Amino acid sequence: MSIASEIQRLQGVRANIFNAIAAKGVSVPSGAKLADCPELISLISGGGGFVEIGGIPYPVVKIGSQLWIAENFKSKIGTLNIDYKLYNGNIEPYGVFYNWNSTNNLSSILPNGWRIPTESDVRDLIQFIGGYKNSYKIRTQGWTDGTDEYGFNLKPSGDFNDYGNPEHQGSQSNFWTSDAESDSIGIGAFVSDPWIIVSNTNSKNKFYTVRFVKDA
């Protein structure tokens, strides 16, 4: 068999695989590669599979029309434009904390289709779980009443204030959106008991946890 005919055969196999996935109602991106197959196939049964970001595989959950990574981002990406904090010097249990500017600089490492959530993305999440008083449906370990019905796995990570000191661990959680109110104020998601709201009073110098989202 010639190299040309083998390439043609493999291209046909690839096309057949993607056609079979699409026939199950899963949208296959035009630039999809065979390496994307496990994630795409997992969507057939409603699961989210895994996605690798920053060298670490993250479980993915489907919530409404969105796919979310089901853990806080936990890669330590340190450059001139990206800075981070760790609670007690450890990645676990809360992941890595980034300020607003550093969070948005992480977009360069995201796989195709993934993004830092917008304010609108968080509002869609809130609407799907039944409103801003239903945060217990996405809260898990460390909360008194978390049921985590959707596998979002949100822990009470707290944040780091403008001076770089940890605060609110065990009582609330915050993660950034890509939107901002002004040059100094970023928009983030604020989660406590029982609330999940979008807050536009967050200093961009605070360090929050990071989640990523993708359209299902």
Bridge-based pairing state of the strands 196-203 and 50-53: unpaired
Q: What is the pLDDT of residues 88-139, one digit of tens each?
A: 999 999 999 999 999 999 998 999 999 999 999 999 999 999 998 999 999 9
How many degrees, rounded to 5, is the angle at CA 176 between CA 171 and CA 180?
130
Q: Which helix (H) or strand (E) holds 189?
A: strand 185-191
Residues 6 or more apart whose Cβ sits within 8 Å of residue 130: 137
Other Cβ atoms within 10 Å of 183 Cβ, number: 7
Other Cβ atoms within 10 Å of 132 Cβ, number: 16
Other Cβ atoms within 10 Å of 44 Cβ, number: 13
Tokens coding 44: 């057939």
Residue-level pLDDT at 173: 95
Q: How many residues does the chain have?
A: 216
Where does the pLDDT of residue 78 fall: very low under 50, low under 70, confident under 90, or very high at 90 and above?
A: low
Residue 1's identity, in one-letter code, is: M
- Tell me the three state secondary structure of residue 101: helix
Q: What is the pLDDT of residues 6-55, one digit of tens each?
A: 666 666 666 767 676 666 556 667 777 766 666 665 555 455 678 889 88
The DSSP-derived string for 15-52 is HHHHHHHHHTTPPPPTT--GGGHHHHHHGGGT---EEE
Query: Is the distance from CB of 210 to CB of 98 less than 8 angstroms?
Result: yes
Rg (CA), the chain: 19
CA distances from 207 to 15, 120, 178 (A): 44, 21, 14
DSSP 113: T
Tokens coding 153: 């796995």
Among 7-11, 130-134, 177-181, 205-209, the minimum mean pLDDT is found in 7-11
Please state, in angstroms and rounded to a whole number, the distance separating the CA atoms of residues 49 and 15: 21
Where does the pLDDT of residue 82 fall: very low under 50, low under 70, confident under 90, or very high at 90 and above?
A: confident
Residue-level pLDDT at 45: 46
